[in-house]
Structure 1
Amino acid sequence: MSSITVRNVPEEVHRALRVRAAQHGRSTEAEIREILSAAVKPEGRVKLGSLLAEVGRKARLTDEEFAVFEQVRDKTPARPVRFE
């Protein structure tokens, strides 16, 4: 996981971050991660799994037909492609 250092944060901003973190029951560092994560994720983003589920609903799959996909699905995490 990467690290970021932010310099010259005004004291009032740092204080506000600490207060906000305390209100959410998180450390200041965790609160900053949450703020950054929320800022870069587009609102209304459709995830691939949700999109595929919607396609299945439109295809009017029965529960039994859908269960077949769940049984054969490979849940092994994908490995990054290597170009060596």
Structure 2
Amino acid sequence: MASITVRNLDDGLKRRLRIRAAEHGSSMEQETRDILKAALDEDAAPPKNLGTAIHELFRPFGVEKLEIPPRESIRELPRFD
């Protein structure tokens, strides 16, 4: 396995990483690996289709199933004679 060193890490960021690792019961190294894996796996996820994206957008509002109105005949087309 490869390893990397991250230099010049902001003190506040390191503190937040330490706290987050403690909350998850893991080391800072393991927490960093988990964060990197999640971030890179998210980029590799296949794009959603438009219908799925719209459904996920409105799901929190309780819109699970919409009533589809009945189809009506189209209006008469205009004549240009």
Identity value in percent = 50
| Higher alpha-carbon Rg | 2
Deviation string for 1:18-48 (max 9, x for gaps)? 00000001000000000000010136837xx
TM-score normalised by length of structure 1: 0.50
Matches of 1:13 and 1:43, distance apart in 2? 23
One-letter identity of the residue aligned with 1:34: D
Extract unaligned runs of 5+ from structure 2. 47-81
Q: List, as ranges, runs of 4+ consecutive aligned residues in structure 1 with deviation greater than 6 Å.
A: none
Specify the alignment match of 2:13 in structure 1.
Answer: 13
Extract unaligned runs of 5+ from structure 1. 47-84
Matches of 1:28 and 1:19, distance apart in 2? 9
One-letter identity of the residue aligned with 1:38: A
- Computed over aligned residues only, the root mean square deviation of the Cα atoms, in angstroms, reads 1.7
Instruction: Please give the residue correspondences for 1:5-84 in structure 2 after superposition, counting only pairs within 5 Å.
Output: 5-42=5-42, 45=45
